[in-house]
Amino acid sequence: MTDAEHMPIPQFDIASLLDFYRRGGSVRRVVEQIFARIEEVDDPGIFIHLATREALLAEADALGAFDASKPLFGIPFAVKDNIDVAGMPTTAACAEYAYHPGEDATVVRLLREAGAIVVGKTNLDQFATGLVGVRSPYPIPRNAIDRKLVPGGSSSGSAVATAQGIVSFALGTDTAGSGRIPAGLNNIVGLKPSVGALSTTGVVPACRTLDCVSIFALDVDDAWTVFSVAARPDDTDPYSRTIAAKGFGTLPPSLTIGVPAQTDLQFFGDASMERAYGEALAGLTALGHKLVEIPFGNFYKVANLLYEGAWVAERYAAVQSFFDAHEDRLHPVTRKIYGGAKSLTAAEAFNGFYALQALKRQLEPVIEKLDLFCVPTAPRHYTVAELAAEPIRENSRLGTYTNFVNLLDMCGIAVPTGTRDDGLPASVTLLAKAGRDGLTATLARDLHAASGLTLGATGWPQPEPDIVLQDVPDDGLIDIVVVGAHLSGMPLNHQLVDLDGQFSRACSTAPNYRLYALSGTIPPKPGMIQVAEGEGREIEVEIWRLTPAALGLFVSAIPGPLGIGTISLSDGTSAKGFLCEQIAISRDATDITGYGGWRAYCARPA
């Protein structure tokens, strides 16, 4: 066996897996580990359709050797079964509805192009109607933390697959909280983007005007990495918007955070959840942020609209022809909800629109004056038995802090904050107006790190924070020094351009570096090392600028023996940039320091 074959399989956060591949680890071994975990977890309710071992091994072989240009190279993910994956049926948890799409949903295509591998299609509340995760004709996914509890929905299988460490991340959808509630109940992160940030082409609609593709991940960095890849405008989706993956990195010293007034908080008798939320707010104060109590009555009024006229009718409209022909094939609760919409009138729908607009007008100044909001993700945990006794009421209560979000065009992210006094997971959701996805994710990152929690139900520790996300300048961009194949016009410069990198300037290092042409690299690359004063010279380099999220993607794809360190420049400043491990210089590398830079070396006479 080679040394790489002896390497232990890492935990499944994205950074750990990319490092494993960078050091020669095999995607085939990760695929085998996926099936070992599926067997160990032994939950038949997670997947409606699972790729075969042979198909995934073939896909692993097709990926080949580690490709630094693919930010999700070899990363396994699952897809909620209302999102199309070519070669797999889409059922929306209704076997009679099933069809076989000829192509991937746009978001799946983007993730696959970035190197990610689809493991399977996950269970859900039928037609994404529910927050409980049990409205499915298939076996019900078990809550990853305590199987007596509901898993949350509608993206139940996606959340449980992620929490159990079967996949690194999973796609869900979110109309009323389906991308947040299951995250909060299973101790993982649930990123609900601004409406339109991720394309919904290839997604079975629930409410087309509100639907989002959401992201479940073990930690915030992973959720943001996936968002950065998938957040692209799509002309095939009439609700798509250009909402760039930006603003993730550092925060102002103090944010103004709205929280529900004490008299408006609702936990429905769950004192442990109430205490956990108070502890999370104390954590925000400890981080230096200011809390402002806000009357929440109008937010609740908006939430109530979601299950009245207009938006119930919109759910019915999405599957009207199927429902009218096959009503008896639906789950009983789903059938009751959709059936109630058949008698609604257009007038009732318009009355709903008018009511929403009036409430939005009242809430706009409240939302504008605050940086963001912090609410409980769910007001309480429910057991499967409790849910069976009151299926409609308890589902509605689960949406107390989620149902209003898409109606008010807000983004959000659910993040674990600790463990309750009874051992169950605690979570809050950070909300802000559309386009502030990076702000909410950055604060969520701080909260998750401060919690010290392990990831999902895996027992894995949180990865070390990525140093490139520290000390972000006021304009949100970070300097990166490039030395060789990433220079302007060179073969790998497109990796910077594809990440919306901005060229800053050409300059030189301080005179204490040496440059080597590395052997066996494709495309050819140099390695630069720092040496003692008087033993080197100035090397020509370029400065490019990237957002923190883009820099994280860029750095995660750097193959060994290259790495990132601090480079001193000739003007007395310094910046992060490419350096090489010393050991690589002794492996048939050619000293090209005399050329003064990689561009001059490449332009030498043949």
Tell me which DSSP letter residue 435 carries. Answer: T
Q: Rounded CA gap, 486 and 600, in Å?
A: 14
CA dihedral 409, 415, 420, 422 (to 10 degrees): 90
Q: Alpha helix (H) ranges present in 23-105?
A: 27-41, 53-63
Helix 346-369 × helix 297-305 angle, to 10°: 150
Q: Rounded CA gap, 469 and 553, in Å?
A: 11
Which residue among the candidates 26, 70, 80, 427 is catalytic per the annotation? Answer: 80
Told to judge if 154 belongs to the known catalytic residues of this protein, a careful annotator would answer: yes
Which residue among the candidates 136, 156, 178, 240 is catalytic per the annotation? Answer: 178
Sign of the four-CA dihedral 25, 29, 35, 38? negative
CA dihedral 380, 385, 391, 395 (to 10 degrees): 20
Helix 14-22 × helix 220-230 angle, to 10°: 80
Give the strand pairing for 117-122 and 76-80.
Answer: parallel
Which residue among the candidates 26, 136, 154, 451 is catalytic per the annotation? Answer: 154
Q: Rounded CA gap, 188 and 522, in Å?
A: 38
> Which one-letter amino acid corresponds to residue 296?
F
Beta bridge partners of 190: 216, 414
Told to judge if 336 belongs to the known catalytic residues of this protein, a careful annotator would answer: no
Q: Does a cis peptide bond (omega within 30 degrees of 0) precede residue 154?
A: yes
Token pair belonging to 198: 């991720």
Q: Rounded CA gap, 354 and 309, in Å?
A: 12
- Contact of 220 with 445, CB cutoff 8 Å: yes
Told to judge if 508 belongs to the known catalytic residues of this protein, a careful annotator would answer: no
* H helix or E strand, kind and range, residue 516: strand 513-517
Q: Which residues are catalytic?
A: 80, 154, 178
